[in-house]
Chains A and B, each alone.
Chain A
Amino acid sequence: MLRTQEYILNFGPQHPATHGVFQVILTLDGERIVKAEPVCGYLHRGIEKLAEARTYTQVIPYTDRMDYLAAMLQNWGYVQAVEKLMGIEVPERAEYLRIISGELSRLTSHVLATGVYALDVGGFTGFLLCFREREKMMDLLEELTGSRMTTSYARIGGVADDVTEGWLDKLDKLMDEMPGYIEEYNGLITGNEIFQARTKFIGKLTPETSINYSLSGPVLRASGVNYDLRKAKPYGIYDRFDFEVPLGTNGDCFDRFYCRVLEMEQSVRIIKQAIEQIKEVDGPIIAKVPKVLKPPKGEVYQEIESSKGIIGYYIVSDGTNKPYRMHVRRPSFINLGYLDEMLRGYLVADVVAILGSIDIVLGEVDC
C-alpha cells in the first residue's frame, strides 16, 4: 500500500551548520519539519564544577572557554560578580580598559556571527570577508592581552595589563575603517535579495514569547523589546557613553541578523568615545586586592550584557579561597529553549537559517 511516512534525520552532532557539536533530532515530513528535538551536552566540560576546585583568580581562564568568541565579556561578568561579593572598587582606568576590550570582543563576536550567518545561508565570501576584519580586531586583542580568543584579560579588581604604546591609535584607526567594512557587509549580505528571501519572515518570535522564554540579547531585541543591560541597568561606566539600542520589528531571522550589524555600529561608537576619554584618565589598572582572595560568606548574582545575551554569574562563597558553588546563566543555552517551536513547519534549509540567527556558541550552551 502506498503511503507517506515521517522520518527522523539526525541533524548533527557532526554537521557543518550546527556551529559545533550540537544535535537536533528532526522529524521530517519530506523536507518539512514536524518536530525538532535539540540535544546538547556534547561539549560539556563541567566548568561550573571545575570552578569549585579553583581559587577565585584561577576561575578566570575557565570563563574564557564558555563563550570563546567574546571571551572578555565572560571574564568581565565573572570578575564583576566577585568584586560585588568582596566590595572592591575598580579603578577608573581599568573600567575604561574593560569597556574597550569588552566592546572589541563584542565586535569580534558580532562580526563572526554576521559572517557565519552568511555562510549558513550559503554565501561563502561574506564569511571570509567578515573574518578579515575579525582577524584585525583579534590582532589588536592579541597585542593587548597576549591571546587572540581566550583572553583572560580581566582580573579581580581591574585588568591584567595596561595598553601598549600606540595601541589606542591603532584601535582608533580600525574603528574609523569599521563603518566602511560594515557597509561592505550590508552590500554583500544584507542587501542581497536572495539573502532576504531566505531570512525574512522565517522563525518569527513575538515579544511576548521572547520575554516568556527569557530570551536575551539580539534575539530579544530583534522582536522589538528594548532591553539592553548596558542601558537598562548600566554597569561599569556605561552610563558615560552615548549609544543607541538597535531594535527589530518583526522578530524574524533577518531582524536578528540585522540587529547584530547595527549593534556593531554602536560598539564602534562606544569604543571611539572610550578612546577619547581614556586619554585623560590615568592611574592604576588594578585595585589593591590581597593576593589570596577570601570573599566573605554569602552569595552574589551579577549579570552583564554579553554578545549573545545576558550572562549572569551566581557565586556562593563559604569564606574560603574557592567558590563553594558557581552557576552561570548562559544566554546561548537559554536562547535555544524556543528552538523546537520555532522550527516546526519550516524546511530543512530553514533549520540552518534559524539556528544561525540565534547565534549560539556551543562552548556556552554546554558549558
Chain B
Amino acid sequence: MLENLFVGTTDWLRSLLGGIGFLPTEIAESIVLVVKLVAVLVFILVNALWLVYMERKVAAFMQARIGPNRVGPWGLLQTTADIGKLISKEIIIPKKADKVVFLLAPVLIFMPPLMVFAVLPIGKNMAALDLNIGVFYLLAIASLSTLFFFMGGWASNNKYSLLGAMRTVAQMVSYELPLVLSLLGVIMIVGSLNLSDIIAAQEHTWLIFTQPIAFLIFFIAAVAETNRCPFDLVEGESEIINGPYTEYGGMGFAMFFLAEYANIMVVCAMATIMFLGGWHAPFGLTFIPSWVWFFIKMYVLIFIVMQFRWTYPRIRVDQLMGFGWKVLVPLSLANIFVTGIGMYIYRAIGW
C-alpha cells in the first residue's frame, strides 16, 4: 500500500480527470504533469528547510552542543522562523551594483535544482518526467548554477564578491569535468542515458561495487560542485567573508543559502541513482517502500557531506585546482580506460 502511495495518487488523479470525460487526454496528462512538478517544488523546498535544520543539529552534535532548541519541539521550526525573519528584512541594493543582474541572481539560483529534480526517479515508477537522455539533461542543468553564482558575485561590485565569483567559476568548471567523466564509466556499463534504465541495471549489483573509483571521484567532485567543505572556497568565510553572497541580505541571501542545500540534495540523489542502486532495497528488504529506501540512501550521503564540512579544514585555491586537474581528471580518464578494457574482456570471454 505504502509502496504505491504516490503512484496510486497519480493514477487516481489521472482516472479522476479521465472520468470527467470531455477533457482530451493531452490536457489531462499535462494537468497531471503540473501537479507532479508542483509536488517536486514543494518537496524540494521542504527538504531544503529540513536540511538547514539537520545541518545545524549535526554540527551542534559534533561540537558538544545541542543546537537549535527554541522554536517548536526540538527547534524543528527554527529554519521556518529564520526564513520568516529574512523575508521581512529590507532588500538592500548596493549603490554601484548592477541592479537587474543583482536581483536576478538569487531568483534564478533556485532554478537548476528544481529542474534537475523533475527527472530524478525517487521510487519505483516515480519520476515526474522519464527523460530518455536523463543523465545528459541532469549534467547540463546542474552546471548552470555556476552562472548564477557569477552573476551574483559580479553584480555586487564588491572585491570580495568578485574574488568569490571568480573562484566559483574556476572551481565549478574544473570539477565539472571529473564529475562527467566519472559518470561515463557507469553509462558505458549500463549502455543507456535513461535514469530508470540505470537503476534497473543495478537490481542485483550496485554500481558502487563495480565502479568504486568512479564513485569516489563522483562524490568528491560533487562535494566540490556544491561548494561544500573542504571545497567551500567560494564562501570561505574566514578568507573572503561570504564570497558572492557578501552583499546580499534578507531573502536574497536566504535563496542562495537554500539553493546550496537543494544542490546538495540533488548531487546526493544523483550519487544514489548512479551508484547506490537508486530505490532498490538491499538484502531483499522489500517490505520497506522503494522511495523510503531512496531517501535513506540519499540522507546517508547527505550526512557524510555534512560530516565532511564539520571535520575538514578548507583547501587552498591552488591546491584545489591542482587536485582537480592533476588527480581527479587523470584518475577518471584512467577509470574509463580500465572500464572499457574490462568490458571488452568480459564480452570476449562471453559472460
Partner-B contacts on A (CB < 8 A): 7, 9, 15-17, 31, 118-126, 128-129, 132, 188-189, 192, 194-195, 197-198, 347-352
Contact = CB atoms under 8 A, between A and B. Distances in A.
A9 to B, nearest CB: 5
Contacts of A15: 241
Given A15-B241, A132-B64, A348-B240, A31 B163 contact: yes
Interface of B: 59, 62-65, 159-160, 163, 229-230, 232-233, 236-241, 309-319
A192 B312 contact: yes
B315 A194 contact: yes
A17 B241 CA distance: 9
Given A125-B63, A349-B317, A188 B311 contact: yes
A16 B313 contact: no
18 contacts: A9-B160, A17-B239, A122-B238, A123-B311, A125-B62, A125-B310, A128-B64, A128-B65, A195-B313, A198-B314, A198-B319, A348-B163, A348-B239, A348-B240, A349-B236, A349-B314, A350-B316, A351-B239
Contacts of A118: 313
Contacts of B237: 16
Q: Is chain A's binding surface mostly helix, strand, loop or mixed?
A: helix
A343 to B, nearest CB: 13
B160 to A, nearest CB: 8
A132 B65 CA distance: 10
Nearest to B314: A122
- Which 10 A-B residue pairs are closest in the complex by CB-CB distance? A122-B314, A128-B63, A123-B313, A17-B238, A121-B313, A122-B313, A125-B310, A349-B316, A195-B313, A349-B239
Given A123-B312, A124-B63, A347-B317, 11 more contacts: A7-B159, A16-B237, A122-B232, A128-B65, A132-B64, A188-B311, A194-B230, A198-B314, A349-B314, A349-B317, A352-B238
Contacts of A198: 313-316, 319
A195 B315 CA distance: 8
B65 A197 contact: no
A122 to B, nearest CB: 3
Contacts of B318: 347
B63 A122 contact: no
Contacts of A188: 311
Contact of B312 (A122, A347, A350): A122
Contacts of B59: 124-125
A122 B227 CA distance: 13
A4 to B, nearest CB: 13
B319 A122 contact: no
A125 B59 CA distance: 8
Nearest to A127: B63
A106 B229 CA distance: 31
Contacts, number: 81
A132 B62 CA distance: 12
Contacts of B62: 125
Contacts of B241: 15-16
Given A15-B241, A128-B65, A194-B315, A122 B163 contact: no
B315 A197 contact: yes
B313 A192 contact: yes
A10 to B, nearest CB: 8
A271 to B, nearest CB: 23
A122 B230 contact: yes
Nearest to A123: B313
Contacts of B312: 122-123, 192, 194
Contacts of A119: 238
Contacts of A197: 315-316, 319
Contacts of B65: 128
B197 to A, nearest CB: 38
A125 B236 CA distance: 15
Contacts of A7: 159
Contacts of A195: 313
A28 to B, nearest CB: 8
B229 to A, nearest CB: 6
A31 B233 CA distance: 12
Contacts of B311: 123, 125, 188
B238 A121 contact: yes
A195 B317 CA distance: 14
A98 to B, nearest CB: 31
B171 to A, nearest CB: 13
Nearest to B62: A125
Nearest to B318: A347
B316 A347 contact: yes
A92 to B, nearest CB: 39
Contacts of B317: 31, 347, 349
B314 A121 contact: yes
Nearest to A356: B238
Contacts of B310: 124-125
Contacts of A129: 63-64
Contacts of B232: 122
B2 to A, nearest CB: 38
Nearest to A197: B319
Nearest to A353: B316
B159 A9 contact: yes
Nearest to A32: B318
B257 to A, nearest CB: 16
Contacts of B240: 348
A349 B231 CA distance: 13
A237 to B, nearest CB: 36
A353 to B, nearest CB: 8
B236 A122 contact: yes
A128 B56 CA distance: 14
Nearest to B159: A9
A125 B314 CA distance: 12
B254 to A, nearest CB: 20
Nearest to A348: B239
Contacts of A350: 316
Nearest to B315: A194
A213 B265 CA distance: 52
Nearest to B167: A31
A348 B236 CA distance: 11
Contacts of A347: 316-318
B179 to A, nearest CB: 20
Contacts of B236: 122, 349
Contacts of A132: 63-64
B334 to A, nearest CB: 22
User: Residue among B159, B239, B312, B317 with the most chain A CB within 10 A?
Assistant: B239
A126 B63 CA distance: 8
